[in-house]
Amino acid sequence: MRSFFAVLFTYWLGCTAIAEIVPSSETDVAANPKSEIRNPKSPLSWPALTSQNKPWTWWWWHGSAVDQTNIADQLETFQHAGLGGVQIIPIYGVKGEESHDINFLSPKWMSMMGYTVGQARSLGMDAGMALEDGWCFGGPTISKDEANAFVVRRTYDVTNGKTFDENFSGRTIQALMAFGPDGRTLDLTDKIGRDGNFHWQAPAGSWHLYAISQRFSGQNVKRAAPGGRGPMLNPFYPAAMRDYLKWFDRAFDPYTGPRPAIVFQDSYEYQCNWSPDFFAQFEHFRGYRLQTVLPALFGEAPDDETARVKSDYRQTVSDLMAVKTDPMWIGWAHRRGFLTSYQAHGSPANWLDLYADADMPETEMFHMDRNPLISKFASSAAHVAGHPLTSAETGTWLAEHFTETLAELKYLTDDMFISGVNHIFYHGCCYSPASASWPGWLFYASTEMNPRNSIWHDVPALNAYVGRCQSILQSGRPDNDILLYWPISDFWNNPDGMLPDMTVSKIAWFTGQPIGDTAEKLSQRGYAFDYISDRQLMTAKTGHGLVRVPGGQYRVVLVPPCRLMPVATLARLIALARSGATIIFQSGLPTDVPGWGHLDERRGQFQRMIAKIKPGTANGLQSRAREQAANGLMEARVGRGRILIGDMETALAQTDVAREPVCDHTGLFFIRRSFAGGWHYFIANRKGDTLDGWVALGHPAQSAAILDPMTGHSGMADVRQVNGQTEVYLQVPPGGSIILRLFEKQTVKGPAWNYWRTDGAPNEITGDWTVQFIQGGPEIPASFQTAKLGSWTEQGDANAQRFAGTAAYTITFDAPAAQIGRYFLDLGNVCQSARIRLNGKDYGTFIAPPFGAMVDNLRPTNNKLEVEVTNVSANRIRDLDRRHVPWKIFKDINIVDTDYQPFDASNWPLTDSGLLGPVTLTPAANF
Q: What is the pLDDT of residue 595?
A: 98
- Name beta bridge partners: 729: 694
- Summarised one tens digit per residue, pLDDT across range 121-136 is 999 999 999 999 999 9
What is the C-alpha to C-alpha distance for residues 691 and 695, in angstroms, rounded to an integer? Answer: 9
pLDDT band for position 23 (cuts 50, 70, 90): very low
In percent, how much of the chain has pLDDT > 70?
94
- Summarised one tens digit per residue, pLDDT across range 838-883 is 999 999 999 999 999 999 999 999 999 999 999 999 999 999 999 9
Look at 368-372, 516-520, 755-759, 902-906 and tell me which has the smallest mean pLDDT.
Answer: 368-372
- Name beta bridge partners: 482: 529, 556
Q: Is the pLDDT of residue 21 over 70?
A: no
**Span 13-38, mean pLDDT?**
31
What is the C-alpha to C-alpha distance for residues 333 and 340, in angstroms, rounded to an integer? Answer: 7
Model-level pTM? 0.94
- If you write DSSP's letter for every residue of 484-505 in order, what string do you get? EE--HHHHH--SSSSS----SS
What is the C-alpha to C-alpha distance for residues 613 and 321, in angstroms, rounded to an integer? Answer: 35
Residue 538 has phi, psi (to 5 degrees) of -65, -20
Q: Is the pLDDT of residue 7 over 50?
A: no
Among residues 867, 860, 758, 760, the alpha carbon closest in space to that of 813 is found at 860
Burial (CB < 10 A; 0-12, 13-18, 19+), residue 652, is buried
- Summarised one tens digit per residue, pLDDT across range 705-755 is 999 999 999 999 999 999 999 999 999 999 999 999 999 999 999 999 999
- Summarised one tens digit per residue, pLDDT across range 308-323 is 999 999 999 999 999 9
Q: Is the pLDDT of residue 16 over 70?
A: no
Q: Is the pLDDT of residue 663 over 50?
A: yes
Q: Is the pLDDT of residue 43 over 60?
A: yes
CA 101 to chain CA centroid, nearest Å: 32
pLDDT band for position 368 (cuts 50, 70, 90): confident
What is the C-alpha to C-alpha distance for residues 167 and 200, in angstroms, rounded to an integer? Answer: 12
Q: What is the pLDDT of residue 629?
A: 56
Look at 99-103, 336-340, 365-369 and tell me which has the smallest mean pLDDT.
Answer: 365-369
Q: Is the pLDDT of residue 11 over 90?
A: no
Q: Is the pLDDT of residue 82 over 60?
A: yes
CA 307 to chain CA centroid, nearest Å: 31
**In contact, 808 and 833? CB cutoff 8 Å:** no
Q: What is the pLDDT of residue 631?
A: 67
Q: Is the pLDDT of residue 33 over 60?
A: no
**In contact, 322 and 350? CB cutoff 8 Å:** yes
The residue type at 161: G
Q: What is the pLDDT of residue 818?
A: 66
Between 892 and 170, residue with greater pLDDT: 892
Q: What is the pLDDT of residue 628?
A: 54
**In contact, 746 and 705? CB cutoff 8 Å:** no
Q: What is the pLDDT of residue 630?
A: 55
What is the C-alpha to C-alpha distance for residues 340 and 384, in angstroms, rounded to an integer? Answer: 17
Residue 681 host element (H or E): strand 678-685
Q: Is the pLDDT of residue 624 over 60?
A: no
CA angle 368–371–377, rounded 5-degree value: 135
Residue 874 host element (H or E): helix 874-882
What is the C-alpha to C-alpha distance for residues 352 and 505, in angstroms, rounded to an integer? Answer: 17
Q: What is the pLDDT of residue 369?
A: 82
Measured between its terminal Cα atoms, the distance across the chain in Å is 47
CA 108 to chain CA centroid, nearest Å: 33
Among residues 21, 17, 16, the alpha carbon closest in space to that of 750 is found at 21
The residue type at 318: S
Q: Strand pairing of 423-430 and 391-394?
A: parallel
- Summarised one tens digit per residue, pLDDT across range 780-804 is 999 999 999 999 999 999 999 999 9
Neighbours of 640 (CB within 10 A): 12
Q: What is the pLDDT of residue 17?
A: 29
CA 745 to chain CA centroid, nearest Å: 34
**In contact, 610 and 671? CB cutoff 8 Å:** no
Neighbours of 518 (CB within 10 A): 21
- Summarised one tens digit per residue, pLDDT across range 427-484 is 999 999 999 999 999 999 989 999 999 999 999 999 999 999 999 999 999 999 999 9
Q: Is the pLDDT of residue 168 over 80?
A: yes
**Span 77-94, mean pLDDT?**
98
Q: What is the pLDDT of residue 161?
A: 86
Residue 663 has phi, psi (to 5 degrees) of -75, -10
* CB hemisphere CA count around 530 (13 angstroms): 32
- Summarised one tens digit per residue, pLDDT across range 382-440 is 999 999 999 999 999 999 999 999 999 999 999 999 999 999 999 999 999 999 999 99
CA angle 869–873–879, rounded 5-degree value: 125
**In contact, 336 and 357? CB cutoff 8 Å:** no
**In contact, 481 and 555? CB cutoff 8 Å:** yes
**In contact, 913 and 831? CB cutoff 8 Å:** yes
**Span 96-113, mean pLDDT?**
98
Q: What is the pLDDT of residue 532?
A: 98
Q: Is the pLDDT of residue 9 over 50?
A: no
What is the C-alpha to C-alpha distance for residues 511 and 373, in angstroms, rounded to an integer? Answer: 10
Look at 162-171, 702-711, 811-820 and tell me which has the smallest mean pLDDT.
Answer: 811-820
User: Within 538-598, where are the H helices?
Assistant: 567-578
Between 34 and 881, residue with greater pLDDT: 881
